[in-house]
Structure formats: structure tokens, C-alpha cells
Amino acid sequence: MFYQKGIDDTFKELRTGSSGLSTEEAKRRLEEYGPNVLEKAEGPSPVQVFIHQFADPLIYILIIAAFITIVLQDWVDTGVILTVITLNAIIGFSQEIKAEQAVRALRSLAAPKAVVIRNGRVEEVDGEELVPGDIVLLTSGTRVPADLRLIEIIRLEVDESAMTGESIPARKMTAPLSLESSSVGDMKNMAFMGTLVVSGRGQGIVTATGAKTQLGSISREVARVRSAVTPLQAKLDHMGRRIGIAVIGVSGIAVVLGIFMGEKLVDMVLTGIALAVGAIPEGLPVVVTITLAIGVKRMADKNAILRRLHAVETLGSTTVIASDKTGTMTKNEMTVVRIFAGGRLYSVTGTGFSPDGEIVPGSPGGRNMALEMCLRAGLMANESGLEFDEKKKTYVPRGDPTEVSLIVSAIKGGFREGEERVKYVDVDEIPFESERMYMATLHSDPDGKGHIAFIKGAPDRILGMCDRELGQDGMEAGLDKGRVAAENDSMGSEGLRILAMAYKKFPADVTGIEPSMLESGSVFLGIQGMYDPPREEVHEAIQQAKRSGIRVVMVTGDHKVTALSIARKLDIVDDENAAVLTGQDLEPMTDEELYEQVGRVSVFSRVSPIHKLRIVQQLIKRGEIVAVTGDGVNDTPALKAAHIGVAMGKSGTDAAKETAEMVITDDNFASIFAAVKEGRVVFANIRKVVLFLLSSGLGQVIFILATLVMRLPLPLLPSQIIWMNLVTNGLQDVAMSFEPAEKGIEYQKPRPRNEPIISRLMMERLVVIGIVLAAGSLALFVWELGQGSSIEKARTEALTVMVFYQLFNVFNARSETRSAFRMNPLANPFLFFSIVASIIAQFAVIYWAPLQYIFRTTPLGLKDWLLILPVAFTVIIVVEIDKAVRRIMAKK
């Protein structure tokens, strides 16, 4: 591995040197290694996407039915059926046409240009022309064009959050590393394609290009990973196949029975088709799409943007949320919360980059000169800044969040950066280097006696440079390294990142400093502990998730102690000694071993992209419905493998957003759980529509089959069956998509993965409703024939009672358990007015001559209505009794 090799060995292995490759050698290697581009992913064409819309068992039957009506020249039925099929295809096509663009988003991260050394001079070349062995120059603001082994750096910092998930820029080094690790975050002497140079300069040797880079390996994983079929898709497909088989069978039986009873073949074929159209919930695909679209709109109002409709329901059935830490559960704003100086420990109030807060002493003791100097050192030995935006009335950080947190703590301590810069004039600086582990700045001392250097860095490194410490009274005394080490360990156990401060004075004739001048004789000032605070609303969201039966798992690139500390604060884990698995722990594990671990471990730290993918895959293998959050390129394989990928809108890369099904616009975990509730509402409303459509269809089938068996005339003509479905299902099923959430739905346990859309309760109820509809309609039909009424009047009454049965049945379907009389009929105004519209339409069919002619109906009198309405209302009475019995049984 190149990160383990020295610079000379790297030059030798790649057959290059400090003057770079020659133009001829670069061309030869370009032929050998190929262009520096990521592999293109072949996504589905628009034609393929459109054809896919017809891959549904219910649609197959409708297409066959339309073909038969064309042969029989029944153009009205043909038009109705084709309209339904076309509408469904258009809606589905418009939703899917922008899908599957993840790898193309990855390719956009490749730098279009690169500055290299070739033929001994600096040249700019196309990024695609880079080859292993090229010497690449890096400057602030540029994107790394290939994987590089760094050979020269000056304060080089690279934002690798897109690869590692860590919010803090990585400070680079050039020395070889002896560690054995596959984690990008640990390879401090490497720079990787697609990452961004935040500050400093550097040079690196190209070690890999195109598909051979770390970004290329992630791209291959994304291309290979198959998106999990959502539970709703699987359930709808299964239900569609079963309904299709049943409808074909029933329609065939009806045709055979009719012919056996003496009906004409053509009439019975048309009746069979009409029965199939009536029994098939052909509006279901459209209604499901509309219901999902409504869920999308509601989620968008709560900062969750859905890119794929089926993700709405999937989120509602989620059992595990595997979430990033930085920026999702935390604010991504480093905050100093502990300071130890002058032998005293202080707490710092307030969070984030706002300087609202104060430094609170742990014990009384008056002024502490060591604390003041510790704060001043953090303020002065600092390359970042904090500015106040007058328009937005907020503080805007500039630079490293860790350094900004030191500025904020100094302001909380009463300092003003501008005033301090005037008093302590800058003279010289030693920038931070990974090898040194500190930075220092030299300033003129306000006392006029010389210069003073402020030093900031890793506690162990700073302690090694000091032999004295500053006391509360401003006097220097012997350094108690044991006490400092104990406080350092205590802060570390809280998951804090710790920086130490010191100073050293020099005479006035010293106008510059070198590292050798600071190696000894410095005065220790104190340590400051900081962390990225959890979002306040996330704790409650996680508690709600737990009450809802959803397990939250933290998967982060951060360090083990920090991850565990945040997990405890958010109650992801309860035990202080809870198990945490790191990337190094996962590396030797087999999939079988990881399968066992993911069932009990809720915190994973220092993970690589492949580790995160494996974790998600094993959770899915355990039967979980997994939602995974992410914002970087490193997250894309896991985002695609999960049932639902959730990308961050603010900090997320284009690759993550294109791969994910959902984008959270405020990067907030709480928004994810808010979307869970909407997902559950969506599934509940889909179930309500299914219950309504299937129970009505079953009632029609039983009714018509019963009349055939009883050797009665056909109770409904094909055109009347189609009309009935149009007037009762055309608006009501869509209107039910707008049903508001039932109380407490967010606290219900996630549905079992294998639970079908039609639950046992629904199956029992739709049978009951089907029998009630059929029995009442059959009784009225037989009654009218027995009274000597014409067949046209008997059919009109049968049609009308079936229409009102279904309109009353809408109220039953609004809840599986709550009484229809306890639900506000105007809570869903669309549904209420759709029922009113259907009643008006049915009256028009009965009393308006043109429609009477088309549908062969006759006017009904008042006595007829006094019979029809009570019979139709029995469907509510029967279901209310069923609901009451079930509520009583549930309490026992």
C-alpha cells in the first residue's frame, strides 16, 4: 500500500521523479491505464420506463378485456378500460423517469482540469489525461483529480467528509504510515479523487486513476448493488396476481353459467368482461400513486423531499434507522463545554457558534489569570474567524469549526477578537502540521518588554514542551502533569475533543520563531474540551422512534469514544459500557459474524463505505426494513442497498442525493421521524382504499353469480356495471387518499415484513360486506320481479341499491376500528363532496332521459326510495356491530 511506503520508494515503484513524466511517457501510460474517468452506468431508457408501467397483473387483465371489447365492437367499454390503463401509465412514467442517476452524480465529482509537473515544468491538463506517476499540484479550493500519495505539503487540509463522513477537514502529512487499515480517514499521507482542498498547498504522485481510485470502487459498488424491492411493491404485486387469478376464474364461471342457463354467448362474454372490470380494482394503481403523491406533499411540508413515490410507504414500515452522527444527530457546530486552567475546572454554557453563554466556575475562587490567558491563546493561535451577518442576524463561521469554537469560548469569557489583535500584533507564525501536532503564533507583548508566542495543540505534545504552568494569580509554578492528565482523561471519557494551550516569552530582538525554539521552556495554560452537540429535538425524536418500535443505529466515521458519548446523550444506548464496533473490528468479521453483531450493537464508529454497506445488508438479511441516512460519496452504496436511502439536503453531495429515495432539507434526524408518521398514514389510507374497492367488487360478483345460479335474468347490464364502478369508485377511492391521520398512528409498532396489505381483519370484513351487499341487492331484485315489475325497473333498483351500498360503505372504510359515527364527515371534505356528486350523478341516470336511454333505467318513486335507502344503510349497521365486538374483545 502506498501510504506505507516512503516517498523515494513511491517514486521508484511508479517509475517517476520530482520533475514528473515526459509527454511521451504520459501518452504511453494513458494507453496502458485508460482515461481517468469513472465507468458510466447504463440506466433504463425512457421507452423501458414507460413499458415498465404495464408490468402489473391487474393491467394485464384489463388489456385483455379491452382487446375483447374491441373484437366485439363494444366501443364504450373499450374507451373506459383504455382510459384507466393510459392514466396509470402516464402517472407512473412521470415519477420514474428521473430515477437511477447515482453513478452519473458520482462522475461529476471528477475534476475537469489538473495542474501537473511534466517535462520538468508546470502544465494544466484535462483531468481525464492523468496517469499513475504524474505529479499533481494541489491548491486551496481545488478538487483532488485522482488518488495521490502526498510528497510535499504546506498546511494542507482536505475536506474528506464525502469519503469518510467526518465533518472536520483532514490535516495531511507526508511521512509513511505503519498502520494496517482500509479506512480512508486513517491514510493521512494520501489524497483521494473527489475530495476538496480546504486550505494550504501540496504535491502528490498519482497512484490510481478512474475505476482504480477509492471513488471508482464506490462507483462500482453503487452499480452492482440492487435496490431493495419495497414492501409495498412486493405486496401489491402479490395481491394483484391473486386478484387477477380470482377474477379470471369468476368471470369464466359466470360466462359458462350464463350460457348454461340459456343466455346468448355475446351477451355473456360482455357480462364477463363487465364483471371483470367491476371486480378488478383497476383504479388501485392510480389511487396508490395519488395516495403516495399526497404523502410526498405532506412530507415536503416537514422538510422531507421524496424522489421516489414508493419510498413514502417504505419509511412508514421502517424497523431500523441507521443514521450518521455528524450534522444529522448533531449540529455540526463544535462547542467548547469544559475548560481546565489554573487548577480549576469550568463549564461553558451555550451551544453552537453563537457566543451567547458564559463560563461557569466549578467552585468559587475569584479571578483566574490562567483561564484568561488560556482563552487568549485559543483566540490568537487561530487561523479561523467568526463574523456577524447583519442581514440574517446570525454568526457565520469561517474556517475550521474546532478553531471557531475557541473563538466563541473566548468571547464568552469577555474577550473581543478585534481588541486583542490590536494589543497583540502578529509577528510570525508556525502553521499546524500533523507531524508537529501544534501551531504557534508570535505577537508583540503589550507590556513592551518583548514578544510572546501562543501555542495550541494536542495535550500530550503541549505538555512535553512545558515545564511550568500559570496559576490563578498569574504567577508561574511547577507543572502538575498528573493532574492535567487526569482532567484530560476525564474530558476524553465524555467524548470531547481536547486542545491544550501554552505560551512562551521571547526578547524583543526575536522577530521570528522556529519549532526548535518551542521544544522546551513553555508555560502551560490549560485545556479546552469541545464536542459537536446533539440537536435538542433529536433526543425526543429517538424516544418517539423507540416507542414506535423503531430501532436507531448510529453509523459514523467519528472516533469510538465520541460516538458512544453522543449515543448515550441521545439514549441510543443506555449502558455506559455498551458495545461499539469500529471499522477495524469489522474488517476480519465474516458476514455470518456480522449478522449476529448487528442484532445487538447500536453504535458503529470509524467505518468505511464497504463497512457501512455490509452493516445495512446484514440488517436487511435479518428481516429488518432499513432506512439509512448519509451525505457523502462514501454513503452511496449503503443508501442504494437500503429499503430507503435518506440523504442530507444541506451537507449532502449530489451523489448521495441522486442515490437516495428521500432528501432531508434541514439535515435533521427529527425530520426523518416526522416523515415516518406520514408514511404510516399513507399505508393506512391505501388499506382503506383496498378494503373499499374489494368489498364492493366482491358484493357485485356474489350478486351476479347468485342470480345466474337461481336462473334469474341478468340483474345488471354490462354498461350498468361499468357505470356503477364509475360513479362509486371514480371519486371515492381517490378522495380516501386525503384521509387525515388516525390518532396515535405514529406509536403503533411497525408492521411485520410478511404482513400482506389485506390483513386478516380486512379479509373477514370484506367478506361480511360483500355478503351484505349481495344479499340486500338480490332481495330487492327478487322482490321487484315478484311484484310483477318490469326487468328494467328491477335492474334500476338493483343498480341504485348497489350504488348507495357502496357510498355508505365509504364511511365504514375510513377506519378499521373506530365507529363511523365518531368520525367527522367533513374532516375529509373531498370525500364528503365526492359522495354528494355521486348521488347527483345517480339521480341523473335515473331521471334524465338521455342517460335513461344509454343505461336502460326507469324512474323510481318515493316508495322505491323508502325501500332502497334502509336496505343500503344495513351495511353500516352490520359493520358497526363488527367493530363494537372487536373493540370489546381487544379489551379482554
Show which residues are catalytic: 324
- Contact at 8 Å (CB) between 165 and 557? yes
| CA distance readout (Å), 359 to 375, 408, 492, 499 | 11, 11, 20, 17
Beta bridge partners of 450: 507
Cβ pair 616, 638 in contact under 8 A: yes
Q: At CB < 8 A and 24+ separation, what contacts does 459-463 make?
A: 459/484, 459/488, 459/498, 459/499, 459/500, 459/527, 461/436, 461/437, 461/500, 462/438, 462/500, 462/501, 462/502, 462/522, 462/524, 463/500, 463/524
Longest dimension (CA), the chain: 124
The sign of the dihedral angle between the CA atoms of 237, 239, 241, 243 is negative
Element (H, E) at 839: helix 829-847
- CA–CA separation, 276 and 81 (whole Å): 11
How many angstroms separate the CA atoms of 859 and 789, rounded? 12
Best CA proximity match to 286, nearest among 309, 260, 313, 315: 309
Per the CB < 8 A criterion, the answer to whether 125 and 183 are in contact is: no
d(C-alpha 313, C-alpha 292), whole Å: 7
Distance CA 295, CA 289 (A): 10
- Alpha-carbon gap, residue 813 to 773, rounded angstroms: 14
Query: From CA 549, how far away is CA 124, in angstroms rounded?
Result: 56
Whole-number Å distance between alpha carbons of 868 and 643: 49
User: Side chain identity at 805, as an amino acid letter?
Assistant: Y
Other Cβ atoms closer than 10 A to 280: 28
**Cell representation of residue 443:** 505577537
Of 743, 737, 613, 756, the closest CA to residue 685 belongs to 737
Give Cα separations from 19 to 35, 85, 118, 204, 207 (angstroms).
22, 67, 6, 12, 16
Name the burial class of residue 228, with classes exposed (0-12), middle (13-18) and buried (19+) by CB atoms within 10 angstroms of its CB. Answer: buried
3-class SS letters over 774-798: HHHHHHHHHHHHHCCCCHHHHHHHH
Which helix H or strand E contains 310, and what residues bound it? none
